[in-house]
Amino acid sequence: MESSRRESEMEIDAPGVALAEPVTAPFAGVPLLDLNAQNLALESELKDAFERVLRSGRFILGPEVEKLERELASRLGVAHAIGVSSGTDAILLALMTLEIGPGDEVLCPTFTFFATAGCVARTGARPVFVDSCPSCFNLDVADAGRKIGPRTRAIIPVHLFGQPAEMDGVLELARANGIPVIEDGAQSLGARYKNRCVGALGAFGIFSFFPSKNLGGFGDGGLVVTNDGNLAARARDMRAHGARPKYHHKYVGGNFRLDPLQAALLAVKVPHYDAYTERRRANAAYYTEQLSRLPGAVVTEGAGHLCGEKTTPARPGHAARVVLPGAHRDRTHIWNQYTLRLRRSGDRDALRDFLQKRRIGSEIYYPVPMHRQECFAYLDDVSLPVAEALAEECLSIPIYPELSRRQQDEVVSAVAEFLES
Ligand SMILES: Cc1ncc(COP(=O)(O)O)c(C=O)c1O
C-alpha cells in the first residue's frame, strides 16, 4: 500500500558515494543520503559493540539498552528515557499509556509522515488534522485552537525536518484545555526550543532511530521520553505486554522493546552526534549563502514566533521562485532535511527530474497530506490550504553531515542552471 511505504526507501536505496573522494575524481553524483560514509568510519567500534553483545548472550533489554537510555535522557535533559522498537511504536506506546482510544480525538499536523496520524487511528481514536505554517512547515497553532473540541484528548506537534514547532502556543493550548502534549521529535533529536530539548516539554516526547534520522540506527528503533515518573513506569510496563510482575498483566500492552544490539550500535554514534549536527548546520548555512544569490531565490525569515509568510525580498526584476528554509531565532534547527519551496506551478517536479538527470538525489517530503490519504477518507472532508500547497511545492535536497563542499557546489550549480533554463 502506497501510504505504508517507508518514507526513506529512496534514500536507503541510493548508491553510496565515497566520502574521501579526491577533488580530481570525476563527478560521481550526489546521493540524498550516504549511510556508508558515516557508518564505515566507525566500523571497528561497531564490530566491537556487536561482539560484546554476541558474547553477552543477553538479547532482550538489559544493560546495553539501559546505558543508551541513561545517555540519551541526560543529553535531552529528561528524567526518563525508554528504548522502544521504532518511532512509530513510541507514538503508539505514548497514546496507549495515556489511555487514548475510541471516542477520543487527537490533533496532529496533516503535513508530515504517516506514523503520527496512523498511530492515533490504530488506538481507535480519530485524528483531527491541523494546517501548517507556510514558513517553518510545522503545525499552525491558531488552526489547532480552532480544531479543539469536547472530545479532544491530546495534541501531537511534530518537530518537522529538524526544527521545533511553536511550543509556547502548543503548551498554552494544551494547558487551557487540560490535555496532554505528545511531541513527535522523530526528526529532531537534540533540537532546542528556547534552550530546552524538544521531547522534554510535553507529557511525552518520542524519537526515531530510522537510518535516515540524525541518529540513524541499523534497522528500526525509537525512544519515548518523559519527566513524569508515573507515566514512565506505566510506559515501561506497556513496552513488555503491560506485565508487572512477569505474567501478571495489568494493562494490554505490546512488544515494543528496543534490541540490545541496536542499543549497543547506536551508543557508538552518540559521542559523535554533536559533530554530525554541526556539519548539518554548516551545510545548511552554505546552501543558504550560495542559493540565496540566485535570481528568484528568497530566504524564509524567522524571528521568534513566526507563522505567516515572511521572506527576504526577491532581487529586483525577479519574482520569488524558490523559497529557502529558515530557522526560528529562538530555537535550534538540526536540519534533518533542507527543504526548498518551488512557488511556480510544476517547478517542483521539474526540478526533481532535472536533478535526477544530473545524478543528484532529492525527495518529496511529503507529496500527499494526511487529510487527503485514502485510508483517512472516512474522516471529515476538510480543506487545509497551506499543507496542500506545501505538498505541491516542497523538495528536499541532500544535507547529510558527510556531504562534501564539492558535492554541495554541484547541487547549487544544478539549481542555478534549472532557474536559468
Ligand atoms: C515525523 C515522524 N514521526 C514518526 C516517524 C516514525 O518513526 P519510525 O520510522 O522509527 O517508526 C517518522 C519516521 O520514520 C517521522 O518522520
- Predicted local confidence at residue 10, as pLDDT: 36
With the most atoms of ligand 1 within 8 angstroms of its CB, the residue from 206, 208, 213 to mutate is: 208
- Cell matching residue 61: 533489554
Is the pLDDT at 2 greater than 80? The verdict is: no
Give the phi and the psi of residue 306 in degrees, each rounded to 5: -120, 155
3 state DSSP class of 8: coil
Is the pLDDT at 72 greater than 90? The verdict is: yes
The model's pLDDT over 266-286, given as tens digits with 9 standing for 90+, comes to: 999 999 999 999 999 999 999
The model's pLDDT over 113-158, given as tens digits with 9 standing for 90+, comes to: 999 999 999 999 999 999 999 888 999 999 999 999 999 999 999 9
Helix or strand run (H / E) with residue 295 = none
- Which ligand 1 atom sits nearest the alpha carbon of residue 187? 16
Mean pLDDT of 182-209: 98
Q: For residue 315, what pLDDT band results from cuts at 50, 70 and 90?
A: low
What value, to the nearest 5°, has the Cα angle with vertex 26 and ends 24 and 31? 115
With the most atoms of ligand 1 within 8 angstroms of its CB, the residue from 8, 11, 113, 370 to mutate is: 113
CA 308 – ligand 1 centroid, Å: 26
Between CA 52 and CA 106 the distance in angstroms is 42
- Predicted local confidence at residue 93, as pLDDT: 98
- Predicted local confidence at residue 302, as pLDDT: 61
- Predicted local confidence at residue 9, as pLDDT: 37
The model's pLDDT over 10-33, given as tens digits with 9 standing for 90+, comes to: 333 333 333 344 445 666 799 999
- Predicted local confidence at residue 92, as pLDDT: 98
Residue type for position 151? R
The answer to whether 302 touches 131, Cβ cutoff 8 Å, is: no
Sequence-ordered list of residues with C-beta below 8 angstroms from that of 55, at least 6 positions apart, any chain: none
Q: Please state the pTM of the whole predicted model.
A: 0.93
Answer yes or no: is the C-beta of 113 below 6 A from any ligand 1 atom. Answer: yes
